[in-house]
């Protein structure tokens, strides 16, 4: 099963490499990984999506917690949560397809953020499923380039991950 683990870690050189190293060293799998400083500049927040049996996920959270620079973490998938990913996607938009592409972008509530005579560059935000669905709807033949940020997540309601 897929899990989204949110990690607060010391914003120090090398801290990220410990997290990434841990995953490869212990044969854990990373599907996506995002990281950026938080409003407190001494802390970074990292979101990692991974999958595995309950035993593997338990080991992942325990091993992450063991890293000296990990301050706190939570498995967001254990409770209600919001997850979002952002994608920038460059699409062929010529001839009769130009309108069709625009309509599809509208249906998915994407935004065209750059235009040339033959290309639309689209920004789209949502959960992984929505972004995948958009890619399917557009069809591979029209996609020139995609870049996805990986998932960021936060718990619903009054649950807060902070120190």
Answer for the pair 140, 132: CB distance below 8 angstroms, yes or no. Answer: no
Using DSSP bridges, classify how beta strands 70-75 and 2-10 pair: parallel, antiparallel or unpaired: antiparallel
Give me the half-sphere count of Cα atoms (radius 13 Å) on the Cβ side of residue 136: 6
Query: From CA 29, how far away is CA 21, in angstroms rounded?
Result: 11
Assess 58 for contact with another protein (CB under 8 A).
yes
59: contact with another protein by CB under 8 A: yes
If the CB atoms of residues 43 and 86 are measured against another protein, the closer one turns out to be 43
Asked if residue 139 binds another protein (CB under 8 A), the reply is: no
69 lies in the binding site for another protein (CB under 8 A): yes
Does position 75 interact with another protein (CB under 8 A)? The reply is no
Instruction: Find all residues with CB under 8 Å of 47, minimum gap 6, and list them.
Output: 4, 5, 6, 7, 32, 33, 34, 35, 150, 151, 152, 153
Q: State which of residues 30, 71, 88, 161 lies at the interface with another protein (CB under 8 A).
A: 71
Q: Token pair of 6, please? A: 């949110």
55 binds another protein (CB under 8 A): yes
Which is closer to another protein, CB of 19 or CB of 131?
19
- C-beta of 27: minimal distance to another protein in Å? 12
Name which of 9 and 76 has its Cβ closer to another protein: 9
State whether residue 131 is helix, strand or coil: helix
Residues at the contact surface with another protein, assessed by CB under 8 A: 9-10, 13-14, 17-18, 21, 25, 55, 58-59, 62-63, 65-66, 68-71, 163
């Amino acid at each position: 099963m897929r899990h989204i683990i949110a990690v607060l870690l010391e914003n120090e050189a090398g801290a990220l490499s410990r997290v990434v190293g841990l995953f490869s060293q212990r044969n854990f799998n990373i599907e996506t990984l995002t990281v950026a400083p938080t409003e407190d500049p001494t802390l970074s927040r990292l979101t990692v999506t991974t999958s595995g049996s309950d035993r593997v996920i338990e080991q992942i959270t325990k091993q992450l917690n063991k890293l000296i620079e990990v301050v706190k973490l939570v498995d967001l998938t254990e409770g209600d949560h919001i997850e979002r990913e952002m994608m920038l996607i460059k699409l062929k938009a010529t001839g009769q397809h130009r309108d069709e592409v625009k309509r599809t972008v509208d249906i998915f509530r994407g935004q065209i953020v750059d235009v040339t005579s033959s290309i639309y560059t689209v920004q789209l935000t949502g959960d992984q499923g929505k972004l995948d669905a958009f890619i399917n709807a557009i069809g591979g033949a029209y996609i020139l380039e995609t870049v996805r940020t990986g998932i960021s997540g936060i718990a619903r309601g009054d649950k807060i991950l902070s120190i």
